[in-house]
Amino acid sequence: MFDIRATPGKSVSYLLPVLPFLISILFYIYASGERHKENPKDKLVPTVGQMAKGFGRTAFEPDRKGDYRLWLDTWASTKRIAISMVFIFLGVFIGLYMGMFPYLDKLLHTFFLFFDKIPALAVLPILFIVFGLGEVSKVALIVIGVLPTIVLDTYIRVKAVPKEQVIKAMTLNASTQEIVYRVVFPKIIPQVLDTIRLNFKAVILFLIAGEALAATAGLGYRIFVVRRYIAMDIIIPYVIWISLLAFMVDFGMQRWIKYRYRWLNK
């Protein structure tokens, strides 16, 4: 099993990825069973049945306000992420220009390098004071937390494009815009998309932090409200739901990058 030239067979290749999941689930069921033996009303480690019920209540039954919570929360959070993503994609262009034009490089690079080091969670109070408790502050938190990383990553990728290619394009009489958008940009975009994909985790982290502080709906909001009465039978399904959504976005993006940029790694 420690042979680096090993080629796992087909059945093993399907089985092995499932194994860690299976073990975690079995371990959970065991732990929850033990706790419930001691205290049948235990809420901290709910049984799978309790969680299924909790999930069902949030997804298919209206609460006392008449809301189907899971969908309401998912929609509220998705909207926040979508708006933040627009700004995060703008970061790609900031990085691109910063990498291409030396004056912009001098102007912005150090600033973003420093900006990137600011722990976004530490400036939360400032954000809330400046932007209020509405949607703006939540989006701002995500953008401040993730944008600099994307800018700097794009910048590094632009810098890594061989000079010869740019010079070659110039000798072929390409305009500045053509060099930026038809030579450099297509070359770096698959890797930049990969970085965005991997930073999705940070996006969710900041989303939940923002929602925990002030909101009327959202996945993070719900987790923090039901925490007040230890409704782990809702919290755990919500956590799984968030992870699952993020996993699917990640997986989908990975697939799409692989398909769209088939030429990469060839």
- Whichever of 24 and 176 has its CB closer to other proteins, that residue is 24
- Whichever of 56 and 186 has its CB closer to other proteins, that residue is 56
CB atoms within 10 A of CB 187: 16
235 binding other proteins? (CB under 8 A)? no
Instruction: Give me the helix-helix angle, 135-160 and 185-198, nearest 10°.
Output: 130
Q: How far apart are CA 45 and CA 38, in angstroms?
A: 12
4 binding other proteins? (CB under 8 A)? no
Which of 90, 133, 169, 170 is in the footprint of other proteins by CB under 8 A? 133
69 and 58 Cβ atoms separated by less than 8 Å: yes
List all residues 6 or more positions away from 62 whose beta carbon is below 8 Å from its beta carbon.
68
121 binding other proteins? (CB under 8 A)? no
Binding to other proteins, residues 51-90 (CB under 8 A): 53-54, 57, 63-65
231 binding other proteins? (CB under 8 A)? yes
Radius of gyration of the chain (CA): 23
216 binding other proteins? (CB under 8 A)? yes
Which of 212, 246, 249, 257 is in the footprint of other proteins by CB under 8 A? 212
- Whichever of 43 and 260 has its CB closer to other proteins, that residue is 43
264 binding other proteins? (CB under 8 A)? no
Nearest to 232 by CA among 52, 51, 59: 51
